[in-house]
Structure 1
Amino acid sequence: MSRPTVPDPRPTLADVAALAGVSPATASRVLNGTAKVSRSARAGVHDAVSQLAYVRQRARAARDEHISSIAAVVCGTDQWLFADPYFSRILLGAGRELRTDEIQLVLLVVRGLADHPLVERYLARGAADGVMLINAHDRDPLGLTLQAMNVPTVVAGRSTPPCRLPYVDADNRSGAREAVRHLLRSGRRHVVSIAGPPDMAVGADRRDGYRDAIAEAGAGGMVLYGDFTQSSGEHAMLQLLEHQPELDAVFAASDLMALGALRALRRAGRRVPDDVAVIGFDDAPLAAHTDPRLTTVRQPVEEMGAAMARHLTRHINGVADVPAHTVFPTQLVIRDSA
């Protein structure tokens, strides 16, 4: 008597195509990045991949047994990449870690959706053994594509649903909360915040840490958003001064935005820290050289980059029990600005 055939419960490419309302060929082109496909079709396929938890076995180029390269995929403009020291620091940490294993680190800059197919084609042909995904916004389709392609990937910063990729992060919420508590303990009563982009987990976590401390103290507050750049911090600070002229402290969610806030306060004739205390986040090298020197929250960026590299090499080498997530503690560094 023959045994009954048990159907394979795993979703297929045809299932993805059916749910997305496209042909299997179109679904394949979206995942391979081999041709131009409409934005609506791409979005439909990525949504279907997420709903079905579809995992595609990636075709790999023939290679030696050792890992040859890891791609650092950075989302953002060239100007942003070289202006924000966060990126160079995380790449420096990863590069040092990979150098011991003679693994090449390849930089790919993604300036927008138009660059996604190029990156997808590069990775689909097995050109890299793993991906460090840096500065991706929530629901970025590139993260879902990497997930669907089964490319070993680790994200810089907490990944959010529907993306389920491993990540390395700092305890952003706790760090922000401690910074604002310090301002309140020092006697400040009108503490405002310049938050990062709300569609990035790092921006949301630091904003929520600010709100936690404000709620604990029963104080009032105000949040305006920037994009982690100096210019956005300056613009937000000028707006905050207009809407809340009585403010006496500001927590900026990055050192570059704090630098912009210092410039705006100087233009407005406000003394730091006498009139307004300022705290940033990152402890970038510039923080020790501002005027006044910047109080900030230190996150171990180089160590985070090294941890991302270790995660990938261990995962690709089949090491058991690799943690899906690594979160580093932060530290408040008190200088002159608060």
Structure 2
Amino acid sequence: MISDQTRAAATIEEVAAVAGVSRSTVSRVVNGSTAVSPAAAESVRRAIAELNYVPNRAARSLASRSTLAIALVVPEDTSRLFGDPFFASIVSGINARISRSDYVLNLIMASADPGDKTAQYVRSGAVDGAIVVSHHTSDTFIDRIAAAVPVVYGGRPVRSRGGDYYVDVDNVAGARDATAFLVGRGRTRIAAITGPPSMPAGVDRAQGYRLAVADAGLTPAPVAEGDFTVESGADAMREILATGEPFDGLFVASDLMARGAMQVLAAAGVGIPDEVSVVGFDDSPIALTTEPQLTTMRQPSFTQGERMADVLIARLAGNEPPEVTILDTELIVRGSA
């Protein structure tokens, strides 16, 4: 028999299940929002009492204090964070919005952490909420963070629990439009370098590519997988070339991977765009450093960062921002296609 002392602490999902309401409703009650019906609020309070659920933010509210700190949790290593212009832009957007508020931003790198240290820090009451950027299927510790404080995700969460708040771009439509652009350029054998299947952006951009190929009735061309780094793009390009299958177009799911792929194509004597047209994704500063300059899908990463921070600040104020915000992408045409 499990004693009260050894029983695992109740989660916000368990409270929601017992109360018969959504996770977001429990979060609003815990954070003192009045935007909940009296009946739902009473059900949540009864469930909290029954399960002995005491979230950190509720404890701080009882003490009439707030940390006025927000955690930016990035489950990546430092070389990835500081080497990818996407992160620089999105973090700049987050910081710009938070600088206009009373909050300060705490950056947490969680790549080499199995999760306990990061989750314990957030759950200890050190921050009022968290923004999570670039999460993977393996990052299960994020669930423990989301059970303790309000969270907003950059991109669709890898494990949807219902009531999740996130800001994303339309990755499927963006990749579909990028590939369709190559079709419009007369390309009939379009290869692809996709992102990792452990990340929703990787999955969605691969789906958009496949939809565009199917829309055009084209014969499938080689596809290789990367991890959004220059090195993985180069490796994937070598893998595609090694198949010996012909292709005259290439969709790449990030600008960094496109740079690596274009370097390999150039070394192999393949002309861009004469022999192979290339389209990337991001419109990061990297797109201006390739030879020729990269045609790419622009995602408004600075705006995405601002919106993420805005949604979290609204939640912490007890307001009801939209749970899902989807931003559009835009094709930027340059010399590679």
TM-score (norm 2): 0.82
1:196 equivalent in structure 2: 195
Q: Which amino acid aligns with 1:335?
A: R
From the superposition, tell whether residues 113 and 162 of structure 1 become closer, same or farther in structure 2 (CA, over 3 Å): farther
Instruction: Quote the offset at 1:161 in angstroms.
Output: 3.4
- Aligned partner of residue 327 in structure 1, secondary structure: strand
1:206 equivalent in structure 2: 205
In the alignment, the residues of structure 1 paired with residue 144 and residue 311 of structure 2 have an alpha-carbon distance, to the nearest angstrom, of 20
Identical amino acids, percent of aligned pairs: 37
1:332 equivalent in structure 2: 331
In the alignment, the residues of structure 1 paired with residue 265 and residue 13 of structure 2 have an alpha-carbon distance, to the nearest angstrom, of 45
2:150 equivalent in structure 1: 152
Q: Which amino acid aligns with 1:246?
A: P
2:55 equivalent in structure 1: 58
CA displacement 1:245-264 (0-9 Å, x = unmatched): 41111100000000001111
In the alignment, the residues of structure 2 paired with residue 230 and residue 25 of structure 1 have an alpha-carbon distance, to the nearest angstrom, of 48
Instruction: Quote the offset at 1:291 in angstroms.
Output: 1.1
From the superposition, tell whether residues 211 and 234 of structure 1 become closer, same or farther in structure 2 (CA, over 3 Å): same
Q: Which amino acid aligns with 2:240?
A: L
Instruction: Quote the offset at 1:86 in angstroms.
Output: 1.1
In the alignment, the residues of structure 2 paired with residue 132 and residue 282 of structure 1 have an alpha-carbon distance, to the nearest angstrom, of 21
From the superposition, tell whether residues 192 and 26 of structure 1 become closer, same or farther in structure 2 (CA, over 3 Å): farther
1:80 equivalent in structure 2: 80
1:258 equivalent in structure 2: 258
CA displacement 1:124-155 (0-9 Å, x = unmatched): 12111111111111363123212322x11011
1:25 equivalent in structure 2: 6
Q: Which runs of 5+ in 2 are unaligned?
A: 27-52
Q: Which amino acid aligns with 1:328?
A: L
Q: Which amino acid aligns with 1:325?
A: V
Instruction: Quote the offset at 1:67 in angstroms.
Output: 6.4
- Aligned partner of residue 275 in structure 2, secondary structure: coil
From the superposition, tell whether residues 102 and 49 of structure 1 become closer, same or farther in structure 2 (CA, over 3 Å): closer
- Aligned partner of residue 309 in structure 2, secondary structure: helix
Q: Which runs of 5+ in 1 are unaligned?
A: 1-16, 32-44
How many residues in Structure 1 have an aligned counterpart in Structure 2?
Answer: 301
Q: Which amino acid aligns with 1:141?
A: T
Kindly indicate whether the alpha-carbon contact (under 8 Å) linking 1:50 and 1:144 is maintained by their aligned counterparts in 2.
no
Q: Which deviates the most, 94-103 or 205-214?
A: 94-103
- Aligned partner of residue 315 in structure 2, secondary structure: helix
Kindly indicate whether the alpha-carbon contact (under 8 Å) linking 2:228 and 2:253 is maintained by their aligned counterparts in 1.
yes
From the superposition, tell whether residues 243 and 48 of structure 1 become closer, same or farther in structure 2 (CA, over 3 Å): farther
In the alignment, the residues of structure 1 paired with residue 187 and residue 82 of structure 2 have an alpha-carbon distance, to the nearest angstrom, of 35
RMSD, aligned α-carbons = 2.7
Q: Which amino acid aligns with 1:128?
A: V
